[in-house]
């Protein structure tokens, strides 16, 4: 574990496990790198160098007033990769982290990147517009903002239900998983959490996706109640030339913590890394 300091003076916390070809994980909102621990151990135990950072405003990273936007998130990721001198990287992004990965490629190219995995990722655009009728109406995101402004602790507890599909019949999600979600969420600074809602919902990644020139695996659950498949993974797969789309039947947004989808993703991730 360590930190880097970005050009605007923000300290970014990261984990760096194992040795080998690097795999860099970007987490979703409102979580931190701990949400990737199982996948970090999986990668490091199978001959890879596994790296994950807390996004600015989240977890153990700094909480600056400014820079809680997708361009800066991507630039922070670029500085982490450059500071650690990582090359031939596989970027793995979940939800907002998938937006961060996508914007990184859009802004910084693929000179250091060998492949990418987008998991339940927000691109190309979550917000419903005339050009993007499959998106979610602004009222959905205004509701999230209201939840953060109000009783954010209870809001995060409630959000964990749909995040992991605990509201579905036969759900196997434990109380412990939902408690961990709440704990990670409460580590997000108020300003960073609030600003990130706009970043993940209103950023258009269409042109960034068109810049992908590397093997790309897109994984999405068809019961994702947070980032609907039809507005996200299905559309991204059409924009990234040669992308492989895998749809997990019945899987929720937080599928990496839910059986049997976690095991399916682990198998697919290892197969992709070792292809």
Q: Is 236 a catalytic residue?
A: no
The active-site residue out of 26, 95, 115, 236 is 95
- Which tokens hold the place of 116? 């990418």
Q: Which of 38, 35, 36, 56 is CA-nearest to residue 46?
A: 38
DSSP state of 136: B
Q: Is 179 a catalytic residue?
A: no
pLDDT tens-place values along the chain, 275 residues long: 799 999 999 999 999 999 999 999 999 999 999 999 999 999 999 999 999 999 999 999 999 999 999 999 999 999 999 999 999 999 999 999 999 999 999 999 999 999 999 999 999 999 999 999 999 999 999 999 999 999 999 999 999 999 999 999 999 899 999 999 999 999 999 999 999 999 999 999 999 999 999 999 999 999 999 999 999 999 999 999 999 999 999 999 999 999 999 999 999 999 999 99
**Residue 206 belongs to what H/E stretch?**
helix 206-209
The active-site residue out of 27, 53, 108, 253 is 253
Count of alpha carbons within 13 angstroms of residue 101, beta-carbon side:
35
**Predicted model pTM:** 0.98
Q: Is 224 a catalytic residue?
A: yes
What strands lie across the sheet with 11-17, from one edge to the other? 2-5, 11-17, 48-53, 21-26, 89-94, 113-119, 216-221, 244-248
The active-site residue out of 54, 76, 208, 224 is 224
What's the confidence (pLDDT) of residue 125?
98
Distance from C-alpha of 181 to C-alpha of 178, rounded to nearest angstrom: 5
**Residue 52 belongs to what H/E stretch?**
strand 48-53
Distance between alpha carbon 219 and the CA centroid of its chain, in Å? 12
What's the confidence (pLDDT) of residue 249?
98
What's the confidence (pLDDT) of residue 1?
77
Output the CA–CA distances (angstroms, integers) from residue 27 to 112, 117, 238, in the order listed. Answer: 20, 12, 23
Distance from C-alpha of 57 to C-alpha of 169, rounded to nearest angstrom: 35
What's the confidence (pLDDT) of residue 116?
98
- Which tokens hold the place of 228? 């609907």
Domains delineated in the chain: 2-273 (3.40.50.1820)
CB distance 96 to 199 below 8 Å:
yes
Angle at alpha carbon of residue 207, lines to 99 and 217, rounded to 5°: 50
CB distance 152 to 30 below 8 Å:
no
CB distance 195 to 57 below 8 Å:
yes
């Amino acid at each position: 574990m360590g930190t880097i300091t970005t050009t605007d003076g923000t300290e970014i916390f990261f984990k760096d496990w194992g040795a080998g070809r690097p795999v860099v994980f970007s987490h979703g909102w409102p979580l931190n790198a701990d949400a990737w621990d199982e996948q970090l151990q999986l990668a490091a135990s199978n001959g890879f160098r596994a790296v994950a950072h807390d996004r600015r405003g989240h977890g153990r990273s700094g909480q600056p007033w400014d820079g809680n936007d997708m361009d800066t998130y991507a630039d922070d990721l670029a500085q982490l990769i450059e500071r650690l001198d990582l090359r031939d990287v596989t970027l793995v992004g979940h939800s907002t982290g998938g937006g961060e990965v996508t914007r990184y490629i859009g802004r910084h190219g693929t000179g250091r990147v060998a492949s990418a995995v987008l998991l339940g990722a927000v691109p190309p655009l979550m917000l419903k517009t005339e050009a993007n009728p499959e998106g979610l109406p602004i009222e959905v995101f205004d509701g999230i903002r209201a939840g953060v402004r109000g009783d954010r602790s209870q809001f995060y507890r409630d959000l964990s239900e749909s995040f992991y599909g605990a509201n579905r019949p036969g759900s196997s999600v434990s109380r412990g998983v939902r408690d961990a979600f709440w704990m990670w969420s409460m580590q997000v600074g108020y300003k960073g959490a609030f600003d990130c809602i706009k970043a993940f919902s209103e950023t258009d990644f269409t042109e960034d996706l068109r810049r992908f020139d590397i093997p790309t695996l897109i994984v999405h659950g068809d019961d994702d109640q947070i980032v609907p498949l039809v507005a996200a993974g299905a559309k991204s797969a059409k924009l990234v030339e040669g992308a492989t789309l895998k749809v997990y039947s019945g899987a929720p947004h937080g599928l990496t913590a839910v059986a049997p989808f976690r095991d399916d993703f682990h198998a697919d991730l290892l197969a992709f890394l070792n292809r």
